[in-house]
Amino acid sequence: MNVMINDISVDLDTTVQGVQVAITIFLIVMAALMIPGSKLTDKYGRTRCFRIGLTVYGVGALLSAASPGLGVLILGNSILEGVGTALLIPPVYILTTLLFTSVTGRARAFGAISAAGGVGAAAGPLIGGLITSAASWRLAFVFQALIIALIVWLSRGIRDPLPPDPSRPFDARGAVLSAVGLILIVIGVLLADNNLWLMLGLLVVGAGVLGLFFRSVRTKERAGEEPLLSTSLFRNRTSNLGLVTQNAQWLVLMGVSFVVAAYLQVVRGYNAIETGIIFTATTAGLLISSLAAGRLAKRRPQRTLIMAGFIVTAAGIGIFLALVAATPSAWAFAPGLLFIGLGMGLMLTPSVNTVQSSFDEAHQGEISGLSRSVSNLGSSLGTAIAGTIIVAGITVTPERSYALAMVVLAVVALAGLVAAATLPKSIVAIS
């Protein structure tokens, strides 16, 4: 979506902010439904939820390809693809945690997943940009659907190590309260540049709904019933700090992605394929450091890797701002984006490993959903906060608004560094 901002906005007669809303809603839906989606894996099985999620995602991609306007695009890409992702992502992390029991083993496994994601992230913008430039952005969504069909076929050999439990209860009230609370908070952030009072009102109401959610959880636990999330998940200091670092990481990564893509296309006038090529610097850095995750986990504590990742990322933002301001050359984007990618790849795997390894098998469904929800909430906030800053001034003072958005993301990276510094020096896997 990021490399197709101009093409989509022109074809669907919308604005950059309209496309930003579509991207953010997709991330909101993922964040809001990741916990319920994760809990459903215990009830219906991890592999079944994985395939259902893929199918829903594929339908959403085809609907997006045929969309006549922004509304249908939001239905297909933001809603259906968001729901599909919320169902298919948790099983990946749950299965990985169940199959690998040591910290280094999980580091290698999660590193492989991050590396695979890096390859996809590198290929996605390039292929999407190429298809968009050569034909149409609509065919890029058709390509997504074809990839989904291939994954469904390949997934036939996946076996679930734990049997599903259809009798397991599902906390529908908790699912609704948690989803509504998260959605209201992110929408409130999105409205920061339009209506201050409405923004504050949504934030307050969203926080109140989340308060009702936690009250509902405690009530169910006192009654001996199973809530959507156990309050015990929030009593683990190591996991809590790991979740903070995950949120900060994805906020920075998605914020940088949107801001740079919008700046390249709207201010510099680059097309989709040129934007995709420039972004390969970030994905190359992600791929390099993710592939080294297993070896690094043997040599350095998880906390050290997370701290180093935030430092390298913040340095990358500084390099990015300095070089891009100094020269109009497209090559000026590469060094900073490369460092940002290296920093992100360095800390994404140990953060996930830290959180997942803090709980036993019985809690993997819950913590996986919470972990993915917190990460996607960070992605939503990154697009919403940084996107709001740059969209608000992109037509009047584009250089200033873009620089301000990047500075805000650097501050978030430093806040993540502070959280990482308080993690335990050694983290032991619980199996």
Give one DSSP letter per residue of 275-330, joined into a string.
HHHHHHHHHHHHHHHHHTHHHHHHHS-HHHHHHHHHHHHHHHHHHHHHHHHH---G
Domain locations along the chain: 2-156+228-421, 175-227
The backbone torsions φ and ψ at residue 329, rounded to the nearest 5 degrees and listed phi first, read -65, 140
What is the predicted pLDDT for the residue at 193? 61
> Would residue 333 be called left, alpha or beta, if left means φ above 0 and alpha means ψ between -120 and 50 degrees?
alpha
Residue 56 burial (CB < 10 Å; 0-12/13-18/19+)?
Answer: buried
CB atoms within 10 A of CB 399: 13
Find out whether 431 and 359 touch, Cβ atoms under 8 Å: no
How is domain 2-156+228-421 classified at the architecture level of CATH? Answer: Up-down Bundle (1.20)
Phi-psi category of residue 75: left, alpha or beta, with phi > 0 → left and psi -120 to 50 → alpha: alpha
DSSP secondary structure string, 240-279?
A: HHHHHHHHHHHHHHHHHHHHHHHIIIIIS---HHHHHHHH
Query: Tokens 């560094």 belong to which residue?
Result: 417
Q: Are the C-beta atoms of 129 and 274 separated by less than 8 Å?
A: yes
Q: What is the pLDDT along the chain (431 residues), one digit of tens a residue?
A: 777 878 898 899 888 778 878 887 887 788 788 888 888 888 898 899 999 999 999 999 999 999 999 999 999 999 999 999 999 988 888 888 778 877 677 777 877 777 777 667 667 777 888 888 888 899 999 999 999 999 999 988 888 888 888 888 888 899 899 889 988 887 787 676 667 788 888 889 999 999 999 999 999 989 888 888 888 888 889 999 999 999 999 899 888 888 888 788 877 888 777 887 888 888 888 888 877 766 787 788 889 999 999 999 999 999 999 998 877 788 888 899 999 999 988 888 888 888 878 887 777 767 877 887 788 778 778 877 777 777 666 556 667 888 888 999 999 999 999 999 999 876 654 54
Q: What is the predicted pLDDT for the residue at 66?
A: 94
Amino acid 402: pLDDT: 83
CA 242 from centroid of its chain's CA atoms: 15
Q: What is the reported pLDDT for 103? A: 67
Q: What pLDDT is recorded for position 392? A: 64
- Is 0.75 topped by the overall pTM? yes
Please give the helix or strand (H or E) that residue 20 lies within, else none.
helix 16-44
Rounded to whole angstroms, the Cα distance separating 70 from 306 reads 39
Q: What is the pLDDT of residue 209?
A: 94
Q: Which pLDDT does position 297 carry in this prediction?
A: 73
CA distance 229 to 220: 10
